[in-house]
C-alpha cells in the first residue's frame, strides 16, 4: 500500500511540473517546436509531428510559483552539496527551507531528503538507499552517469527522493521543502534492507554471470529475506524522467513501445482500475501481468510493469520466495528462457524472454540511445565507482579533491572542541543539541566547509516538534547550551569509543582480543559475504536464533548495560563461524551500575512506538522528565530501576 501511494504521489507531482504562464494552446501550439522543445514546456504533447496542448485552453503554469517554465530550473535543487566522497555517501544538515529533512545529500546532483525521524533510526539504511540510487544512475560503476540526458532532466527539473520513516512520518512531514522541488518519490527506511536477497550477489551468485543464477534461486542463507523497496521506488523516479526524455520508447501510456508490450503481456487478465482484474496465476486468464490496484491507472500500470520487467531481467526477482509472492501480479520473474521457471507449477508462469520477447528486447538493451539508463546489474547497496568523481556535478571532474564540495572553502581553523564530538555527532546530537554542537563540534557536525554553516533551520526545529508532539515536547525546553551528557551507564572517566573490528577469516592466531565498556560502539567492517549475529550460546551453535545485527558492512553495535561481563559475536553464514569468525568481547562494568546486582524489570515497557528512535537521537538525556518514565525500556531504565 505504501508503494502504491508513493507512486500515485509521484504521478501527481509530474502532472504539476514546470510549465508556461499562458494557457495550453498559447504555450504549445503554432510555435514551431520540435519534439523535445514541445515536451519541455510541461503542458504539451507531441503527436503527428506537431506540438499540441495537453490541457486544451487550461492554464499552463507552475502551480507553486506561477512562473513561466522552460522545461526545468536548470540547476540542482541542492546545488553545491557533495553527495559522495571517499567511498561513502556524504550527508549534510539541511539548508534553510528544507523543514522536512533531518539530513540531505545528492546523487549526481539529484536531491535526497531524509526525515529527522528516519535519520534517527540509524545511518545504515540511509546509506543503503543512497548507494542504490548511485548504482542505478551509474550502473557500470565508472563514476559517470550512464545516461546524461536522463540525469540532466532529473537535475534540471528538481527531482527529489524523499525518505521518511513510515507512513505516519510521511503524512506529518512530507512537502516542507522549497517550491522549486519537482517530481518527488517516497522510499522509506522502513522498507530498506541492506544485504537483501534480491541482489544475486547476496544469494551467492555472480551478478554478471547469468548461468550462476538458477543454482542460487532458493539460497537465503547470509542475506535478508525481507523485501527491499529501495530499487523499486528509485527506479520509478528515474523511469519518469526516461519517459519524458524518450516518450516513444518509455511513455506512460499503452501507446509507447513498452506500453504496447505490457498491454500484450496482460492478455485478458484485465486491470484493477477498470474493475475487470483476474489473478493471472489462477488459470482463468491468459496473461502474465495484471495489477489489482483500483487506484493505479494506465500511466501507473506502465510504470509498475516496466519495474517488473527491468528487475526480472537483472535477476532481482528470481528467488523461490519472491516469484511466489508476486504471482498474482507478475509471472515473468524468471529472466531467461534457458532457466528453470519459478514459481513451479503455476499457470501462465514463464520466463521473461519466452513470455514477452518484446519486453525482453527493450530491457535487455542497456547501451543504445534511449536505453542506456536501464541497469544491467541488480543494485546490492554497495556502490564502488572505479574512479573518484565530484558528485556535486553531472560531469566528470579531473584533478579535484573529492573530499571538498564545489564552492566550499575548507576552514583550517574549524575544529572539534571535545574528543567526544564524533561520537556525539554519530548519536544525532548535532540536531538534538545544535546550540552547543554546531559551535563546539563544528567538524563532526560537517559545518566546516561553508562560510555560512548549514545550521538547523526553524523549519527543522518545527519538524522536531512534529515528530515528538505526543511525547518528548511535553515538559521539554529548547536544546541546552551545555555539552551533550554521557549516555546512561557511562561516566566521564570512561567516554564512549568506537572500536574498529576487521570482520574477516582469522589467521592461525585467531581474531584479536577485544575489550569494551558500556557505551562503546563496535564497528564491524568487511568485504565479501558476511553478517554479524549475537551468539546466543556463546558458541557457533544455534546462531540463527540469535540477534541479527546486519549483513551489510559496516555494522555498528553499541555496548549496553546488560552486556556487562561479556558478549560473543559470530558470522552466521554457513561454515564461517566454524572457520574462526567467533569473537568474544570482554565488557567492563560501568561505575554507575557497579555492584548493584540489578536485574531487568519485566513490567518495564516503552509507552510510544517512537521511543527507540527518540532514545537513539539522545532524548533520554535531553528530555528525561518524559523519556525515563514513558520510554523506560529504550532509555535502559528497566535495569536501573531495580538497582
Which tens digit of pLDDT belongs to each residue from 173-192? 999 999 889 899 999 999 99
Residue 273 CB neighbours (<10 A): 17
Cα four-point dihedral sign 40, 150, 317, 186: negative
Output phi, psi for 176, to 5 deg.
Answer: -90, 65
Tell me if the pTM is above 0.75.
no
Q: Is the pLDDT of residue 373 over 60?
A: yes
User: What is the pLDDT, as a whole number, of residue 239?
Assistant: 96
User: What is the pLDDT, as a whole number, of residue 149?
Assistant: 92
List the single range of 9-13, 142-146, 319-323, 467-471 with lowest mean pLDDT: 467-471
Mean pLDDT of 555-571: 87
How far is the CA of 402 from the CAs of 82, 86, 297, 416, 453, in angstroms? 9, 7, 44, 22, 20
Helices (H) and strands (E) in the chain, counts: 22, 16
List the single range of 270-279, 344-353, 624-633 with lowest mean pLDDT: 624-633
- Say if residues 497 and 558 touch (Cβ distance below 8 Å): no
List the single range of 26-35, 122-131, 403-412, 535-544 with lowest mean pLDDT: 403-412
User: Parallel, antiparallel, or unpaired for β 555-558 and 521-525?
Assistant: antiparallel
Which tens digit of pLDDT belongs to each residue from 582-614? 999 988 755 333 333 334 455 577 777 677 767
Q: Note if the bond before 268 is cis, omega within 30 degrees.
A: no
User: What is the pLDDT, as a whole number, of residue 486?
Assistant: 44
User: What is the pLDDT, as a whole number, of residue 591?
Assistant: 36
Q: Is the pLDDT of residue 121 over 90?
A: no
Which tens digit of pLDDT belongs to each residue from 183-237? 999 999 999 999 999 999 999 999 999 999 999 998 777 788 889 999 999 999 9
Mean pLDDT of 622-636: 77
User: What is the pLDDT, as a whole number, of residue 28?
Assistant: 76
- Say if residues 92 and 104 touch (Cβ distance below 8 Å): yes
Q: Which fold has domain 498-588?
A: Immunoglobulin-like (2.60.40)
Residues shown for the chain: 643
DSSP class of 535: -
Sheet holding 567-570, edge to edge: 514-517, 582-588, 567-570, 532-534, 548-550
Contacting residues for 105 by C-beta, under 8 A, at least 6 apart: 78, 81, 83, 89, 90, 91, 92, 111, 112, 130
Q: How far apart are alpha carbons 393 and 386 in whole angstroms? A: 17
Three-state secondary structure string covering 507-548: CCCCCCCEEEECCCEEEEECCCCCCEEECCCCCCCCHHHCCE
Indicate the domain borders of the chain. 498-588
Q: Note if the bond before 421 is cis, omega within 30 degrees.
A: no
Q: How far apart are alpha carbons 571 and 407 in whole angstroms? A: 44
Q: Which residue has the higher pLDDT, 420 or 259?
A: 259
Beta bridge partners of 567: 585
Q: How far apart are alpha carbons 123 and 120 in whole angstroms? A: 8
Name the H helices within 314-444.
320-325, 352-355, 357-364, 421-426, 429-432, 434-440
Cell numbers 484485465: residue: 270
Amino acid at each position: 500500500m505504501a508503494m502504491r501511494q508513493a507512486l500515485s504521489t509521484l504521478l501527481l507531482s509530474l502532472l504539476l511540473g514546470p510549465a508556461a504562464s499562458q494557457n495550453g494552446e498559447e504555450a504549445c501550439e503554432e510555435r514551431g517546436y520540435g519534439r523535445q522543445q514541445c515536451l519541455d514546456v510541461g503542458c504539451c504533447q507531441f503527436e503527428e509531428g506537431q506540438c499540441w496542448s495537453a490541457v486544451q485552453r487550461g492554464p499552463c503554469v507552475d502551480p507553486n510559483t506561477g512562473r513561466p517554465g522552460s522545461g526545468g530550473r536548470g540547476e540542482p535543487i541542492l546545488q553545491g552539496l557533495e553527495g559522495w566522497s571517499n567511498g561513502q555517501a556524504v550527508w549534510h544538515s539541511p539548508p534553510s527551507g528544507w523543514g522536512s529533512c533531518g539530513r540531505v545529500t545528492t546523487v549526481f546532483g539529484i536531491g535526497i531528503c531524509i526525515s529527522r525521524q528516519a535519520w534517527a533510526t540509524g545511518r545504515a539504511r540511509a546509506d543503503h538507499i543512497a548507494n542504490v540510487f548511485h548504482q542505478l544512475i551509474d550502473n557500470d560503476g565508472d563514476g559517470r552517469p550512464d545516461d546524461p540526458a536522463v540525469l540532466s532532466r532529473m537535475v534540471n527539473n528538481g527531482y527529489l527522493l524523499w525518505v521518511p520513516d513510515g507512513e505516519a512520518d510521511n503524512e506529518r512531514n512530507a512537502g516542507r521543502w522549497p517550491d522549486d522541488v519537482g517530481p518527488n518519490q517516497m522510499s522509506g527506511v522502513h522498507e530498506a534492507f541492506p544485504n537483501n536477497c534480491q541482489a544475486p550477489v547476496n544469494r551467492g551468485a555472480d551478478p554478471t554471470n547469468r548461468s550462476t543464477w538458477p543454482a542460487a534461486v532458493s539460497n537465503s542463507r547470509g542475506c535478508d529475506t525481507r523485501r527491499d523497496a529501495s530499487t523499486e521506488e528509485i527506479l520509478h523516479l528515474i523511469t519518469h524522467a526516461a519517459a519524458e526524455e524518450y516518450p516513444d520508447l518509455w511513455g506512460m501510456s499503452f501507446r509507447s513501445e513498452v506500453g504496447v508490450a505490457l498491454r500484450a503481456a496482460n492478455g485478458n487478465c484485465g486491470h484493477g482500475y477498470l474493475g475487470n482484474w483476474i489473478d493471472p496465476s489462477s488459470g482463468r486468464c491468459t496473461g502474465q501481468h495484471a495489477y489489482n490496484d483500483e487506484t493505479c491507472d494506465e500511466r501507473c500500470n506502465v510504470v509498475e510493469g516496466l519495474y517488473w520487467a527491468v528487475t526480472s531481467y537483472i535477476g532481482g526477482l528470481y528467488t523461490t520466495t519472491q516469484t511466489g509472492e508476486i504471482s498474482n501480479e507478475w509471472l515473468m520473474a524468471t529472466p531467461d528462457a534457458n532457466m528453470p521457471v519459478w514459481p513451479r507449477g503455476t499457470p501462465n508462469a514463464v520466463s521473461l524472454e519466452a513470455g514477452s520477447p518484446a519486453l525482453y528486447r527493450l530491457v535487455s538493451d542497456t547501451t543504445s540511445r534511449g536505453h542506456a539508463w536501464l541497469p544491467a546489474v541488480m543494485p546490492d547497496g554497495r556502490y564502488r565507482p572505479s574512479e573518484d568523481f565530484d558528485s556535486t556535478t553531472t560531469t566528470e571532474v579531473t584533478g579535484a579533491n573529492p573530499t571538498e564540495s564545489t564552492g566550499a572553502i575548507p576552514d583550517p581553523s574549524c575544529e572539534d572542541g571535545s574528543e567526544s564530538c564524533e561520537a556525539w555527532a554519530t548519536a544525532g546530537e548535532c540536531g538534538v543539541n545544535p546550540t552547543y554542537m554546531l559551535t563546539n563540534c563544528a567538524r563532526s557536525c560537517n559545518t566546516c566547509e561553508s562560510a555560512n554553516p548549514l545550521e538547523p533551520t526553524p523549519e527543522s526545529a518545527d519538524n522536531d516538534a512534529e515528530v515528538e508532539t505526543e511525547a518528548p515536547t511535553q515538559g521539554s525546553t529548547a536544546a541546552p547550551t551545555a555539552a551533550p551528557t554521557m549516555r546512561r551507564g557511562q561516566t566521564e572517566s570512561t567516554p564512549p569509543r568506537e572500536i574498529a573490528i576487521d570482520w574477516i577469516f582469522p589467521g592461525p592466531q585467531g581474531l584479536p582480543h577485544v575489550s569494551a565498556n558500556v557505551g562503546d560502539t563496535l564497528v564491524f567492517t568487511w568485504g565479501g559475504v558476511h553478517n554479524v549475529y549475537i551468539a546466543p550460546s556463546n558458541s557457533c551453535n544455534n546462531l540463527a536464533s540469535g540477534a541479527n545485527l546486519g549483513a551489510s558492512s559496516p555494522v555498528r553495535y553499541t555496548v549496553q548495560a546488560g552486556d556487562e561481563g561479556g558478549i560473543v559475536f559470530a558470522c552466521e553464514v554457513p561454515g564461517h563461524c566454524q572457520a574462526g569468525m567467533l569473537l568474544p568481547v570482554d565488557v567492563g562494568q560501568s561505575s554507575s551500575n557497579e555492584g548493584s546486582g540489578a536485574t531487568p524489570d519485566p513490567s518495564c515497557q516503552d509507552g510510544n512506538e517512537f521511543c527507540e528512535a527518540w532514545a537513539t537521537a539522545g532524548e533520554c538525556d535531553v528530555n528525561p522528565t518524559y523519556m525515563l518514565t514513558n520510554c523506560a525500556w529504550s532509555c535502559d531504565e528497566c535495569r536501573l530501576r531495580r538497582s
